[in-house]
Chain A
Amino acid sequence: MSEALTAALALLVGLDAKLIEIVLLSLRVSLSAVAIAALLGLPLGAAIAVGRFPGRQTVIVVLNALMGLPPVVVGLLVYLLLSRAGPLGALGILFTPSAMVVAQAILILPIIAALSRQAIEDAWREYEEQLRSLGAGRMNAALTLLWDTRFSLLTTILAGFGRAAAEVGAVMIVGGNIDGVTRVMTTTIALETSKGDLPLALGLGIILIAIVIAVNATAYLTKELAQRRYG
C-alpha cells in the first residue's frame, strides 16, 4: 500500500500528463454542470420562495426529495433519453462529455433549487413587509433577494459542485468511461481500483479529497467574511 502511495505522490508531484488530463476534464464537466444548474435553479428557487400558487407546498416537498436522487438512477434516465433508441438520440451526444454535463446538471439542479428556495424564503420572511412597503412587486423582490442572499447562494452552488465532482454513477453510464474522452477522476478511480492498479487511483483520490476540502473551506470562509463585512 505504501508503495502505491509513493507512486501516487510521484505522479502528483511530476504532474503526470494523464492525471492532469483527467482532472481537467472532471473540472470542466462539473463546472459546466453547476453553471447550468445555477442558471436554471437559482431563479426557480427564488420564484418558488416568493411565489404563491396552488400546490406550492407539494412542489417544495418534491424538490427537497429530488435532492436525494441516486446518481446512478439519473445516469440511467439520461442514458435512455440520449440513446439512439431514445427521444433525444438524434443529438448524438451520448458517450461524450456533453452527456455527462447534462446528467450532472440534472442531478444537482434540485439541490440548487431547493437550497436557494430555503435561503430566499428565510430572507423573504425578514424582508417581505419592508419590500412591499417600498412598492416592490414579486419579481423585483425575487431579484433583490437573489442578490441579497448571494453569499448563502454561493455556498449552495459550492455544495452542488461538490456533489457533482464526487459522483460516479451518472457519468459512468452516460459517458461510457472512454479512455481520453469521457474518463473523469471518479470513473478512473473505479476502473483502476478494479484492475488492482492503485497508484493512479490513489493519486486521483488525493486530488479529489483536496478539491472537496477546498470547496468546503471556501464555503465556510465566504460565510464568515460576508457576515463580518455585510452583517
Chain B
Amino acid sequence: MIRRLLLLVVLLAALPVGAQEKFIVVASTTSTEQSGLFGYLLPVFQKKTGIQVRVVALGTGQALDLARRGDADVVFVHARSAEEKFLAEGHGVRRFDVMYNDFVLIGPKTDSAKISGGRDILDALKKIKAASAPFVSRGDKSGTHMAELDLWKLAGIDITNEKGPWYRDTGQGMGPALNTAAAMNAYILADRGTWISFKNRGELAIAVEGDKRLFNQYGVMLVNPAKHPNVKKDLGQAFVDWVISPEGQKTIAEYKIGGEQLFFPNAK
C-alpha cells in the first residue's frame, strides 16, 4: 500500500519533466565547479555537440561513490590514488590525465607560524604544528583533503594522532572551509582555482606556493557501462574524448580569472 502510494507520487512528479534533451551527468568536485571552469568549458562543448553536461559537484570521495552507485556517466576528479582504486574495482573504463593546477597554502597576514613567502610546503607544515597555529582542514574525503593528509605524512607528522585543538577538521567543501579559515584567521590548504575566485578573503593571503609537491592532477573517466548498463556511454565518451582533445585542452587553458590562468592542460 505504501509502495503503491510512493510510486503514485513519483509518477505524478515525473510528469512535468517535459522534453528530454541529450544530457549526461558528470560527477565532479566542488573545487572544480566553484573555480568557474565548467561555466566556461561546458557551453563550448554543448555548442559543438548539442550535449548538455549536468555537473553534480561533491567532494572527490563522494563523487566517486556516486558513480559507484551508477548515478553518474562520467567522473572528473583530482585524487590519483582514489581514481586508481575506482578503476581497479571495475567502475571506470579508462583514466585519462586532463589538466593540473596547484594547491597553495593560505595563511593570515599575522602569520604566527612565520612561513610567509616560503617555497617548502613540508617545512611550512612543520612550523605550523610547532607554533600550534590554527589550521583548517576540509576533512571531507575530497581530493584536497587527501592531498593535505599526504603532505602531513611526507612531513613526517602523523596528523591523526598528533593534532591538537589548533587543527580544525570542518568536513566542508572548499568554499565553506575558506570562509571558516577567514573567520578564524587560520592557515588552510586550498586549490588555486577556488582561491582566485574566492571573494571573502578577510585577512588571508597566499603564504606558500610553487613547491612541486603541491601539484594537483585532474583525471577523467567514463563510468563502466558493463557494470552500470544505464550509463550513456556514447554521450559520455564524447565528453571524455573532447576534454582531452586539442580543442578541449585549448579551451581549458583559455580559462582565466583576473588575467590569470587557472588550469594547465596536460592530456597525453
Contact = CB atoms under 8 A, between A and B. Distances in A.
Interface stretch (A99-107, A127-135, A161-169): A99-107
A36 B179 CA distance: 39
Interface string B198-222: 1111000000000000000000000
Contacts of A191: 175
A102 B13 contact: yes
B17 interface: yes
A59 interface: no
B199 A40 contact: no
A162 to B, nearest CB: 19
Grouping DSSP codes into helix (H, G, I), strand (E, B) and loop, the B interface class, with mixed when no group exceeds half, is: helix
Interface residues of B, number: 39
Given A89-B70, A194-B176, A194-B179, A98 B13 contact: yes
Nearest to A39: B12
B70 A36 contact: no
Interface of A: 28, 32-33, 36, 39-40, 81-85, 88-99, 101-102, 105-106, 109, 176-179, 181, 191, 194-197
Contacts of B176: 194
Nearest to B14: A98
A84 B230 contact: yes
B10 A91 contact: yes
A181 B17 CA distance: 11
A101 B14 CA distance: 8
Contacts of B16: 28, 32, 97-98, 101
Interface of B: 5-10, 12-17, 25, 33-34, 38-39, 52, 54-57, 69-71, 172-173, 175-176, 178-179, 182, 197-201, 228, 230
A176 B54 contact: yes
5 contacts: A28-B16, A40-B9, A96-B17, A177-B57, A178-B55
B198 A195 contact: yes
B17 A196 contact: no
A225 to B, nearest CB: 31
B13 to A, nearest CB: 4
A96 B52 CA distance: 13
A90 B34 CA distance: 31
A106 B9 contact: yes
B131 to A, nearest CB: 27
A85 B175 contact: no
B230 A93 contact: no
A106 B9 CA distance: 8
A28 B16 CA distance: 9
A104 B39 CA distance: 28
Contacts of A85: 69-71
Contacts of A40: 5, 8-9
Given A102-B10, A105-B9, A93 B175 contact: no
Contacts of B230: 84, 89-90, 92
Given A92-B230, A94-B71, A195-B34, A36 B13 contact: yes
A179 B25 CA distance: 12
A99 B55 CA distance: 16
A58 B113 CA distance: 61
Most buried by A among B9, B13, B56, B173: B13
A36 B175 contact: no
Contacts of A105: 9, 12-13
A176 B17 contact: no
Contacts of A33: 13
B71 A83 contact: yes
Given A84-B70, A90-B230, 6 more contacts: A36-B9, A82-B10, A88-B10, A96-B17, A109-B9, A195-B175
